[in-house]
């Protein structure tokens, strides 16, 4: 049995892991905040469960099973993992640093947003949107123009003691689909193939990675228009703003299926959106509009040029029944 431990910095915490992860940033610190452990205690369930399963979601215990393994998240401190028969530890990695890490930080009362995040001049921008909306393409464009990567998939967001909304850096890796790899003149043979379903590769970004927490300046939600038109950027407000923020919570689908957000979660979301500028950017389908997207981000978001707001809506009274916000 291998008793070697590996130590990393991730999302502002020190991680002690029984598994070596080459994409994480090593650290000499030995006072761990969180742990990743392998366990055989979940093996009987792994052999029995062949479909998706998730236990009741609580701040102390979450257990879920999928096609590759069993995962247990405890007290915002420990992630236990157990692969199913014939599954390698590498095949569990996307779930460990996706759902597991989002659940763990939710147990620590921090928000996990499904997005990429970049930094410029000490300020962070998070970029959300459905698959195919162009998040990776826009993120790559920003990296080519002086921005630095903070995360590619899960952003951990919290409110500091001074009242600032902070984003914490994940690890220096970006996932790109095959055509994006070719557009960036990268050799697929030099990259790790990580996603057969979506044909994606892991691209190291150590040369343009921000390792320090940053104040969140804005959130951008990307979407695609069917017709040939200009890139449209609109600042959201009120009900639209809150709904867009909630829908891009990494655990939103799971929360909805299990009965919705609790009051404490909603309160933190409300505190965040009260001061966070949130924009919707609509881009034309089938056209490379990243130059225009970059110009609008630089001009409007990072230079505070005013945009017309969406409709006003008072949301403070919605806290008592968070699920009433959704149809």
The 10s digit of each residue's pLDDT in 211-227 is: 999 999 999 999 998 76
| Residues 6 or more apart whose Cβ sits within 8 Å of residue 143 | 118, 149, 174, 205, 208
Residue 95 has pLDDT above 90, yes or no: yes
Domains of the chain with bracketed CATH? 6-108 (no CATH), 113-172+209-325 (3.90.228.20)
Q: Retrieve residue 220's tokens.
A: 């951008």
Q: What is the CA radius of gyration of the chain?
A: 20
- The average confidence (pLDDT) of the chain is 86
Q: Check residues 144 and 304 and name the one with the higher pLDDT.
A: 144
What's the confidence (pLDDT) of residue 305?
Answer: 55
| Residues 6 or more apart whose Cβ sits within 8 Å of residue 320 | 263
What's the confidence (pLDDT) of residue 53?
Answer: 80
Helix axes 238-247, 263-275, angle to 10 degrees: 120
Q: What are phi and psi of 171, to 5 degrees?
A: -155, 155
Beta strands in the chain (DSSP E): 6-10, 13-17, 25-26, 34-38, 53-54, 61-65, 69-74, 78-83, 111-114, 116-120, 123-129, 148-151, 154-159, 165-168, 173-177, 192-195, 200-204, 214-225, 232-235, 278-284
Which sign, positive or negative, has the C-alpha torsion 191, 193, 195, 200?
A: positive
Residue with tokens 């505070």: 304
| Short-list 126, 120, 178, 131, CA closest to 152 | 126
For 150-181, the pLDDT digits (tens) are 999 999 999 999 999 999 999 999 988 887 78
Residue 44 has pLDDT above 70, yes or no: no
Residue 124 has pLDDT above 90, yes or no: yes
Could you tell me the CA-to-CA distances from 115 to 79, 178, 250, 303 in Å, in that order?
A: 22, 20, 8, 22
Span 229-244, mean pLDDT? 90
For 280-311, the pLDDT digits (tens) are 999 988 888 999 999 999 887 777 554 444 43
| Short-list 51, 78, 77, CA closest to 64 | 51
């Amino acid at each position: 049995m291998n008793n070697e431990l590996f130590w990393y910095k991730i999302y502002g915490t020190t991680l002690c892991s029984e598994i070596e992860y080459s994409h994480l940033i090593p650290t000499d610190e030995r006072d761990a905040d969180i742990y990743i452990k392998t366990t055989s205690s979940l093996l009987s369930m792994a052999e029995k469960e062949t479909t998706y399963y998730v236990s009741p979601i609580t701040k102390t215990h979450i257990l879920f099973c999928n096609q590759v393994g069993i995962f247990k998240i405890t007290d915002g401190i420990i992630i236990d993992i157990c692969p199913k028969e014939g599954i390698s530890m590498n095949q569990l990695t996307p779930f460990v640093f996706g759902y597991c890490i989002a659940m763990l930080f939710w147990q620590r009362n921090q928000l996990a947003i499904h997005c990429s995040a970049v930094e410029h001049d000490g300020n962070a921008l998070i970029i959300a949107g459905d698959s195919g909306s162009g998040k990776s393409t826009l993120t790559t464009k920003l990296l080519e123009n002086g921005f630095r990567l903070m995360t590619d998939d899960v952003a951990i967001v919290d409110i500091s003691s001074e009242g600032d909304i902070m984003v914490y850096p994940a690890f220096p890796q970006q996932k790109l689909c095959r055509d994006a790899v070719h557009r960036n003149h990268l050799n697929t043979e030099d990259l790790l193939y990580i996603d057969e379903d979506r044909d994606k590769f892991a691209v190291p970004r150590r040369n343009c990675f921000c390792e320090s927490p940053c104040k969140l300046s804005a959130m951008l939600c990307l979407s695609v228009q069917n017709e040939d038109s200009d890139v449209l950027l609109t600042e959201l407000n009120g009900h639209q703003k809150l709904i867009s923020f909630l829908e891009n919570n990494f655990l939103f689908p799971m929360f909805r299926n299990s009965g919705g957000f609790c009051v404490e979660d909603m309160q933190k979301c409300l505190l965040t959106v009260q001061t966070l500028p949130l924009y919707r950017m609509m881009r034309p389908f089938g056209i490379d509009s990243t130059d225009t997207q970059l110009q609008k981000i630089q001009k409007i978001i990072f230079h505070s040029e005013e945009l017309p707001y969406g409709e006003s809506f008072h949301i403070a009274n919605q806290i008592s029944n968070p699920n009433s916000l959704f149809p």
